[in-house]
Structure 1
Amino acid sequence: MRRTAVTAALLTGALALAGCGSDSAADSKAESKAGSKAEISVSAAYMPQPVSDSMAAGFLTIANKGGTADALTSVTSDIGEVTVHETVDSAMQEVKELPVPAHGELVLKSGGNHLMFEKLKRKPKQGETVSVELHFAQSDPVTVKMPVKSATYTPHSGH
């Protein structure tokens, strides 16, 4: 019994030491690469409750704290088709991608660039959430839970 306990303690100690060694090596590699790749995060996501049975819009802010620019290339959702739109001179048009600058933000907001949900399988109601997956040219996909707000909701932060 005592031998088993000692063996277990030795194995645990060896694993902990091995883990520490490889973790710090991985940490230094990650730190050396930190400024050279995109670091994507998403905030301020919401969908105004759709007034149409077949279309809705979505808004959010994508921040990139990394040193490399990226691009939002597509969006998927289980409630319908999603396209990325830009607004230029009050006219909206579908685009293949929107840039996410290094050390910057891509802001999707009412009256500007936005997500367009079409061919809705169901009409989301205020208080529900809609799940979307954002796809990027360089970064891994990001899943976002988008709360459904009132049709007249306006965020306070301007996003």
Structure 2
Amino acid sequence: MRRRAVLTAVTLTGALALAGCSGSGSGSAAADLSVNGPYMPQPVSADMAAGFLTIINTGAAKDELTSVTSNVAGQVTMHSTMGGAMEEEPSFAIPAHGRLVFKSGGNHLMFEKLKRKPRQGQTVTVKLTFAKSGPLTVEMPVKSATYNPSTGH
């Protein structure tokens, strides 16, 4: 009888310890980021290009895109477009269970000081850095200069 009480106490203690490991405050609410539909229209300029993609967050926490780098550009800047006016932004919020869309005519990436002019059929490597999540490396295909996707954004 005493042995059964000790085993029950040990089992309960173990269960409580395991429950504590998965409880709140241990980072269970996190962003879960992925990228959909990345592309770069073949640039018409030798020193500048645009890039587009959608960042999807299926996680329970928001995050923030803080910077973008690429092997093809001296710098990559992020821009918002409202009412036809383009403005450089230091970061973009990605809501929990939401998405951040960079598309033609809207928010977009600007690849400046191109080291080489990307050609249709090539890919450009892009590194996305976030405030909380680890970085994502994306292979961005170069499409025709007039490419405009009808789905995915």
Q: TM-score, normalised by structure 2?
A: 0.81
- Give the aligned length: 132
Percentage of identical aligned residues: 60
More strand by share: 2
The AA in structure 2 aligned to 1:50 is P
1:150 corresponds to which residue?
A: 144
1:55 corresponds to which residue?
A: 48
What secondary structure does 2:114 align onto? coil
Q: Indicate how the Cα distance of structure 1 residues 33 and 103 shifts in structure 2: closer, same or farther if over 3 A, else same.
A: farther
In the TM superposition, structure 1's runs of 4+ consecutive aligned residues that sit over 2 Å from their partners are 32-35
Contact 1:34 1:66 in 2 (8 A): no
Contact 1:47 1:59 in 2 (8 A): yes
2:117 corresponds to which residue?
A: 123
1:42 corresponds to which residue?
A: 35
1:135 corresponds to which residue?
A: 129
1:33 to partner: Cα distance: 6.5
1:64 corresponds to which residue?
A: 57
2:81 corresponds to which residue?
A: 87
| Alpha-carbon displacement from aligned partner over 1:80-128 (angstroms, at most 9, x marks no partner) | 1100111111111111001100000001000000100000000000000
Q: TM-score, normalised by structure 1?
A: 0.78
Contact 2:36 2:152 in 1 (8 A): no
| Alpha-carbon displacement from aligned partner over 1:39-64 (angstroms, at most 9, x marks no partner) | 00001000000000000000000000
**Whole-Å Cα distance in 2 between the matches of residues 109 and 38 of structure 1?**
22
**Whole-Å Cα distance in 1 between the matches of residues 28 and 82 of structure 2?**
32
2:6 corresponds to which residue?
A: none
RMSD: 1.9
